Amino acid sequence: MNTIAAKTPANSDVTYLKSYNKTPSNHTLIKRKAEFDFDADIPRFWQGEVFATRMLDAMQLAFPDGERMFIQSIRNYEDKITDPVLKRQVKEFIYQEAQHGIAHTEFTEMLTEQGLNVNGPVKLMKNMMVTFTDKAPKKVVLAATVAAEHLTASLGEFLVGSEDNMLTKAHPSIKAMYMWHGVEEVEHKAVAFDVYEQVAGGGYFTRALALAAIYPFALIPLTAGTMAMMQVDGELNVKELRKGVSVMFGKNGIFRKTFPAVMSYYKPSFHPWQSGYPANYHDWKAAYEESGDMTQAMIAVDRVACL
């Protein structure tokens, strides 16, 4: 196993514990069952702020169908994998992403109960992803998964490894869900990449182009979805939108905080494990192993009392 000193990218407040040039040989992905109760006690603006709540709500609408696309893109190569470790990790990846899909589908049902009509955008995204998965060359679909998994891993590292991670004031049930999802995005961050490089024979140009296409493209439905939800809430106004610009692009905004990690992908020698484990990862994992409860695991690493 090749280890190098952990480096925190400039402008990021994520603390990284260790860095590797390939998937650590003793690394394991854990199968955990999604068990969340998004009950009626959850406030409409569960994050504490209008724009940030709706931005995260809009973002997660794409998760269940996106995760189905990721699974299919890897399944396309499953019978060509000869490395038993990668073969096992692919099965664990599929399990984790399927669980994420279940949790976020339940979350979307809660949004529907709030009177937000999200069926149209969800259907549109589903059709786009299904068409892309069916029509594009398999290697290109896998490259899109590699790029998207890098975005979700960068976000996961931010949620798990930063104390100022947008969830400070969030409702505990939803905070627990995002911490779990973040932890698992970290755990399986290299599976698609390793299949792409080792099995599909994918190269730098296609994977680089995939991120260049996905990153700005994702912003369009994200912004439109956020604003449509705010309109239903009666909160679409200049004051909230100004706050929104800061939430997304300000000094502590999610894009500014994750941008250095996202851009590390463009190094030709990039491997997802070069960013290693984010701080809190091992503590969260140990707390979950002990309690079997995602809220308890979240509380164990939470630096800010949220209960």
SS3 142: helix
Instruction: Examine residue 100 and tell whether it contacts Fe ion (CB under 5 A).
Output: yes
The CA-atom distances, in angstroms, between 111 and each of 43, 99, 259, 294 are 11, 19, 29, 22
Q: Which segment (77-85, 109-117, 183-191, 236-244) binds Fe ion by CB under 5 A?
A: 183-191
Strand 19-20 to strand 3-4: parallel, antiparallel, or no bridges (unpaired)?
A: antiparallel
Q: Which segment (79-87, 100-108, 131-139, 154-162) binds Fe ion by CB under 5 A?
A: 100-108
Binding residue count for Fe ion, defined by CB under 5 A: 3
SS3 278: strand
| Residue 153 vs 200, nearer CB to Fe ion | 153
Q: Which segment (104-112, 123-131, 155-163, 177-185) binds Fe ion by CB under 5 A?
A: 177-185
Shortest Å, Cβ 148 to Fe ion:
8
Shortest Å, Cβ 130 to Fe ion:
18
Contact 265, 150 (CB under 8 A): yes
Shortest Å, Cβ 153 to Fe ion:
7
SS3 of 244-257: HHHHHHCCCCHHHH
Q: Whole-angstrom Cα distance, residue 72 to residue 101?
A: 13
Shortest Å, Cβ 149 to Fe ion:
5
Shortest Å, Cβ 253 to Fe ion:
22
> Given the structure tokens 């960068």, which residue do they identify?
154
Shortest Å, Cβ 305 to Fe ion:
28
The CA-atom distances, in angstroms, between 185 and each of 25, 49, 291 are 18, 25, 21
| Residue 185 vs 194, nearer CB to Fe ion | 185
| Residue 102 vs 236, nearer CB to Fe ion | 102
Written as six digits, the tokens of 9 are 């990218």
Q: Which segment (28-36, 185-193, 202-210, 223-231) binds Fe ion by CB under 5 A?
A: 185-193
| Residue 50 vs 211, nearer CB to Fe ion | 211
Q: Which segment (125-133, 148-156, 239-247, 290-298) binds Fe ion by CB under 5 A?
A: 148-156
SS3 20: strand
Shortest Å, Cβ 93 to Fe ion:
7
Q: Whole-angstrom Cα distance, residue 80 to residue 241?
A: 49
| Residue 51 vs 281, nearer CB to Fe ion | 281
Contact 42, 107 (CB under 8 A): no
Nearest to 257 by CA among 84, 64, 56, 15: 15
Window 49-88: residues binding Fe ion (CB under 5 A): none
Written as six digits, the tokens of 76 are 């396309």
State the residues that interact with Fe ion by CB under 5 A. 100, 152, 185
